[in-house]
């Protein structure tokens, strides 16, 4: 693995650990403190400003012909992606969301095959099969929180996964042409333009006086961590590795959610989470890690 690929894999690891933690953190303030649309509005606005602050030091222009892809990236990768996920998360359980989001690698592979003509290797097929089987195990044996689960919420999260997968594939060619920060800055600008008419009313009606320290820390984590850093990590990795490899790391999110549940149960003394820990879930987490490894590794070159 080259030095650049090594950094790309570290970036993907960091991004998906943040996403995994986000499932529980963001769920904690929705919808009691802030609605999904208002949260997404603040998320896109805050992270977009941070991206453009960095972009101001980089003098690089986007060709007019590429703005069509940039606009689609803003629609699928920012607005619809985040709206569908946060609305879904507000309706369903964090564990459900982290499991369903593992549909991204499969959708990325499908979109990459048709749009980028990316070759499907045996390693990728084996990895997706093993990781997918682990996710199915989590669905069959891990989804016991019926009180917070929702069919509509699960559908929202699944459509979100499809939207994000499409974004990763269509934006990939621009990663080879421009600096990642240039692309992501413009993507967020158009994403905010799409989001403004949808979320502005919810922001204006949000009772910010009811926010406490935990609420502000949660919003800061989502804006700086889940959005700014995670998108930056993903867009950097996408410039170095194939979309299917980048997408495969999403299999780690259920693992992170599993670890968070374990931490809440055994370290913080939340006994209601202890019943979620069992052999099947441990086995499932091991399988998704193996799946990520198989998709990420390169086939051996035969020496003649």
Instruction: Tell me how far apart the alpha carbons of residues 121 and 59 are, in angstroms, rounded to a whole number.
Output: 38
Dihedral sign computed on CA atoms, order 161, 166, 167, 168? positive
3-state helix, strand, coil in the chain (%, to 5): 80, 0, 20
Q: Are 250 and 99 in contact (CB under 8 A)?
A: no
- With respect to residue 9, please indicate whether it lies within any of the assigned structural domains: yes
Please state at what angle helix 3-27 crosses helix 252-262, rounded to 10 degrees.
50
Instruction: Tell me how far apart the alpha carbons of residues 38 and 35 are, in angstroms, rounded to a whole number.
Output: 5
> What DSSP designation does 59 have?
-
Instruction: Tell me how far apart the alpha carbons of residues 248 and 127 are, in angstroms, rounded to a whole number.
Output: 9
Rounded-to-10 torsion of CA 139, 143, 148, 151: 30
Amino acid 273: pLDDT? 54
Amino acid 302: pLDDT? 47
Amino acid 301: pLDDT? 47
Amino acid 21: pLDDT? 86
- With respect to residue 38, please indicate whether it lies within any of the assigned structural domains: yes
- With respect to residue 279, please indicate whether it lies within any of the assigned structural domains: yes
- With respect to residue 302, please indicate whether it lies within any of the assigned structural domains: no
- With respect to residue 301, please indicate whether it lies within any of the assigned structural domains: no
Q: Which residue has the tokens 């101001």?
A: 56
**How many domains is the chain partitioned into structurally?**
1
- With respect to residue 248, please indicate whether it lies within any of the assigned structural domains: yes
> CB-based contacts of 66: which residues, under 8 Å, 6+ apart?
174, 177
- With respect to residue 142, please indicate whether it lies within any of the assigned structural domains: yes
- With respect to residue 303, please indicate whether it lies within any of the assigned structural domains: no
> CB-based contacts of 186: which residues, under 8 Å, 6+ apart?
62, 67, 70, 74
Parent domain of 276:
3-296
Q: Which portions of the chain are predicted below pLDDT 70?
A: 1-4, 135-136, 138-149, 261, 264-265, 269-278, 280-281, 285, 292, 296-304
CA 4 to chain CA mean position, Å: 22
């Amino acid at each position: 693995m080259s030095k650049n690929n090594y950094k790309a894999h570290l970036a993907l690891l960091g991004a998906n650990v943040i996403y995994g933690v986000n499932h529980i953190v963001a769920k904690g303030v929705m919808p009691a403190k802030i609605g999904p649309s208002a949260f997404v509005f603040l998320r896109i606005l805050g992270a977009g400003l941070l991206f453009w602050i960095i972009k101001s030091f980089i003098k690089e222009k986007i060709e007019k012909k590429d703005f069509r892809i940039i606009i689609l990236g803003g629609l699928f990768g920012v607005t619809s992606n985040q709206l569908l996920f946060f609305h879904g998360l507000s309706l369903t359980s964090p564990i459900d969301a982290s499991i369903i989001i593992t549909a991204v690698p499969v959708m990325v592979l499908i979109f990459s095959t048709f749009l980028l003509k990316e070759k499907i290797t045996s390693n990728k097929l084996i990895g997706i099969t093993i990781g997918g089987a682990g996710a199915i195990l989590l669905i069959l044996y891990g989804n016991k929180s019926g009180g917070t689960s929702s069919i509509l919420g699960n559908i929202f999260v699944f459509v979100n996964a499809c939207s994000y997968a499409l974004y990763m594939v269509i934006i990939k060619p621009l990663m080879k042409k421009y600096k990642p920060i240039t692309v992501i800055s413009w993507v967020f600008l158009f994403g905010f333009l799409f989001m403004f008419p949808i979320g502005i009313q919810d922001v204006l009606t949000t009772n910010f006086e009811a926010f406490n320290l935990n609420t502000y820390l949660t919003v800061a984590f989502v804006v700086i961590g889940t959005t700014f850093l995670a998108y930056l990590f993903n867009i950097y990795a996408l410039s170095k590795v194939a979309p299917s490899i980048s997408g495969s790391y999403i299999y780690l999110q259920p693992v992170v959610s599993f670890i968070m549940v374990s931490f809440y149960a055994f370290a913080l003394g939340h006994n209601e989470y202890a019943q979620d820990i069992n052999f099947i879930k441990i086995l499932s987490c091991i399988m998704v890690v193996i799946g990520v490894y198989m998709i990420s590794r390169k086939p051996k070159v035969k020496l003649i």
